[in-house]
Chains A and B, each alone.
Chain A
Amino acid sequence: MASIVERVEGRACVLRGSDIDTDRIIPARFLRCVTFDGLGEHAFEDDREQAKGDHPLDDERFAGASILVVGENFGCGSSREHAPQSLQRFGFQAFVGASFAEIFAGNCTALGLPCITLEPNDLEALMDSVTLDPSQQVVVDLVARNLTYKGGSLPAGVRDGTRKALLEGTWNATRVLLEAGDSIDTRAATIPYVAGFGAA
């Protein structure tokens, strides 16, 4: 059984911009690996290189943050789990944004990392507040479905299924899927092509 994820608490890091894709999160050359170890240090490598130290992940004021605050459609592009893996290994345990690409959000859930969404005005307020005072504590609370920061408490969007999986510690789906036991094979036997379309 996977662990239960009810809340993530810590400092936050603000990464502005929308449509930030997985090639930027972890450039393809770092996918030449057979384990996810060591990916943390390459998170956003090319963006950081081009920003010459001026990237939020290199901003000392955000150092040690456990919550990454992003814009719209974060994680679009490829299905590479290397993207959330690298961010997790960099130290992030939750993502807060306007919206997330679907496969990215699914991959996060599979790693026990919540992705929550805020209303645009709330997100803007949070980004401004954290930028002004990065030392503040931010709390993502899945039980209460909200996010708390210096400015108060904001309603947080999270898919029911995802929330339940995180709260019940069932986000490692393999175990859950295995519980179906023989009914997997029973179902399969009713699907015409699995049964060979009646051929032997």
Chain B
Amino acid sequence: MPSPRSLFDKVWETHSVRELPDGQTQLFIGLHLVHEVTSPQAFAMLEEMKLGVRYPQRTFATIDHIIPTDSQLRPLADDLAEEMMVALERNCREHDITLFDSASGRQGVVHVIGPELGLTQPAMTVACGDSHTSTHGAFGAIAFGIGTSQVRDVLATQCLAMEKPKLRRIEVSGKLEGGVYAKDVILHIIRQLGVKGGVGFAYEYAGPVIEAMTMEERLTVCNMSIEGGARVGYINPDEVAFDYLRGREYAPTGEAWDTAVDWWRSMASEPGAPCDDLVTIAGENIPPTVTWGIHPGQSAGVNEPIPNLSDVPDADRPAFAEALEFMGFRPGQPIAGTKIDVAFIGSCTNGRISDLREAARVAKTGKVADGVRTLVVPGSQSVAREAEAEGLDQVFRAAGFDWREPGCSMCLAMNPDKLQGREVSASSSNRNFKGRQGSPTGRTLLMSPAMVAAAALRGEVTDVREVL
């Protein structure tokens, strides 16, 4: 009997072109996704080296970070943003790369459109100049965020020089309680393992809680692997993934579909496949989770207080003090009841249709509290269309939410959507770093989209289970 192997090992081997002299692996990249922020310099480097794009048909581009969400009309009001847009259009044209722009009807956040178009498939290697590329691992792909020089490498060679990380399996056992979402699961994992716990590891998420998740929930979990320090996070492909993919624009069809499913199945981790580390997390113990600090590991259950200094390990105390000072919180203070100024629903973590449905379910129960600014930003044009067809936009509008055009928006505020001054934002995005949402002193509380909607209605951090 051959010994059982993990998906990770199998995908790595299938895509390995050769061992490099420095000990790294030259890995073939099956899907390269490109966006406007990290690519212009890569194309310029390519030109400087007098090289072309090796596999333009395996490269797809979209525009997400800089696009305004009030109107996508050109030219963009921001000259710098317009210049980036023009550069991407020119680069894609000159190199025969498919660009999903506003006119295509398929534009959206790169990690939302890859899955929904069926571009992302099991057992692929995926790279993108964006750290949340780990999202695509939800299909059992091995997906890496890369820097601009590596974008150049992939454009020129369709390969990356990679050191193989170790593998940690994270099993989430039991089941989740009502009102607890995929976002809470990943925030809880990061809280347990720390923001650097995953450095040097690929994460394989497994166990009953993960297996019971829909594809969109799995995308949320894998998306935030990088917040736990792991560059890669994946879930073994199963019927849930196949059902999601069937019939999507770029998914295989006919006989090729059956061949594909057989191959995908054969690539999943086999029972007993080795891993370098195993962590088990009890699903029942996961509460709706909210961050109170300045990195995604600084979080608490919504009904728990912010820790006291005595609860914090010595090594983490300086970071703890810095976080509380920046956020203006006291040790031991409850997180529920924190007043918010802004509610942001969207991003590649939680800007998909199921996220909007859950948030709308909450929105239906009331009206946005006085003085709270809101942004509901669908992850893609396709999500927007689907939501509008279901009338979700009307539900949000009726409750006083601002319904916007798709893009990254206030996840990182490279477009006009920004916090002002010390505003506090309840956000369904993935990072609560200082300055992340556009104001150097702005404050971000990460939580599930349903929790954001609840906070918008009450004007303060609220346990969504009280509202539902």
CB within 8 Å of B: which residues of A? 16-19, 21, 23-24, 27-29, 31-36, 46-47, 49-50, 72-73, 76-82, 84, 99, 101-103, 106-107, 110-111, 159-162, 164-165, 168, 170, 172-174, 176-178, 180, 183-184, 187-188, 190-194, 196-199
Contact = CB atoms under 8 A, between A and B. Distances in A.
B40 A177 contact: no
A111 B146 CA distance: 13
Interface string B169-209: 00000000000000000000000000110011000000000
B47 to A, nearest CB: 12
Interface stretch (B304-312, B383-391, B434-442, B450-458): B434-442
A138 to B, nearest CB: 23
Nearest to A162: B22
Contact of B196 (A72, A165, A190): A72
Interface string B278-322: 000000000000000001000000000000000000000011001
Interface in B98-148: 121, 123-124, 129-131, 133, 145-148
B440 A46 contact: yes
A23 B434 contact: yes
B1 interface: no
Contact of B159 (A19, A32, A177, A193): A177
Given A28-B412, A103-B145, A192-B260, A77 B431 contact: yes
B303 to A, nearest CB: 26
Contacts of A183: 17-18
A159 B153 contact: no
Given A80-B38, A106-B150, A184-B157, A168 B22 contact: yes
A118 to B, nearest CB: 16
Contacts of A173: 149-150, 153, 160-161
A159 B259 contact: no
A103 B41 CA distance: 17
A79 B157 contact: no
Interface of B: 14-18, 20-24, 26, 28, 30, 37-38, 40-41, 44-45, 49, 51, 54-55, 58, 65-66, 78, 80-81, 83-84, 87, 121, 123-124, 129-131, 133, 145-150, 152-153, 156-161, 163, 165, 195-196, 199-200, 226, 229, 231, 252-257, 259-260, 263, 295, 318-319, 322, 412-414, 431, 433-436, 438, 440-441
Nearest to B253: A199
Given A50-B440, A99-B196, A164-B22, A111 B149 contact: yes
A46 B435 contact: yes
Contacts of A110: 147, 149-150
Contacts of A188: 28, 55, 158
B157 A194 contact: no
Contact of B66 (A18, A32, A35, A174): A32
Given A177-B161, A193-B121, A198 B49 contact: no
Which of B253, B414, B433 lies at the interface centre, i.e. has the most chain A CB atoms within 10 A of its CB?
A: B433
Nearest to A50: B440
List the 5 closest pairs (A to B, CB-CB), nearest first: A110-B149, A107-B147, A199-B256, A46-B440, A81-B147
B319 A197 contact: no
A23 B44 CA distance: 24
A99 B196 CA distance: 9
B373 to A, nearest CB: 19
Contacts of A174: 45, 49, 51, 152-153, 156-157
Given A23-B435, A23-B436, A103 B153 contact: no
Given A101-B229, A176-B20, A34 B435 contact: no
A110 B129 CA distance: 14
A35 B44 contact: yes
Nearest to B254: A199
Contact of A180 (B17, B78, B226, B441): B17
Contact of A199 (B16, B255, B433): B255
Contacts of A84: 147
A27 to B, nearest CB: 5
B30 A191 contact: yes
Contacts of A161: 20, 22-24, 163
B313 to A, nearest CB: 12
Contact of B22 (A32, A78, A99, A170): A170
Interface centre among B121, B129, B146, B148 (most CB of A within 10 A): B148
Contact of B28 (A34, A99, A184, A198): A184
A164 B23 contact: yes
A29 B131 contact: no
A123 to B, nearest CB: 13
B231 A32 contact: no
A135 B129 CA distance: 38
A180 to B, nearest CB: 5
5 contacts: A28-B436, A101-B229, A106-B150, A107-B150, A180-B18
A35 B40 contact: yes
B256 A197 contact: yes
Contacts of B131: 77-79, 103
A101 B195 CA distance: 10
B295 A19 contact: yes
B411 to A, nearest CB: 10
Contacts of A101: 196, 199, 229
Nearest to A27: B435
Contacts of B84: 32-34
A177 B49 CA distance: 14
A176 B18 contact: no
Nearest to A24: B434
Given A34-B44, A76-B195, A199-B252, 10 more contacts: A23-B412, A33-B80, A160-B22, A168-B21, A170-B21, A174-B157, A176-B20, A177-B153, A184-B157, A187-B16
B231 A102 contact: yes
B297 to A, nearest CB: 8
A20 to B, nearest CB: 9
Contacts of A107: 147-150
Nearest to A100: B199
Contacts of A198: 255-256, 259
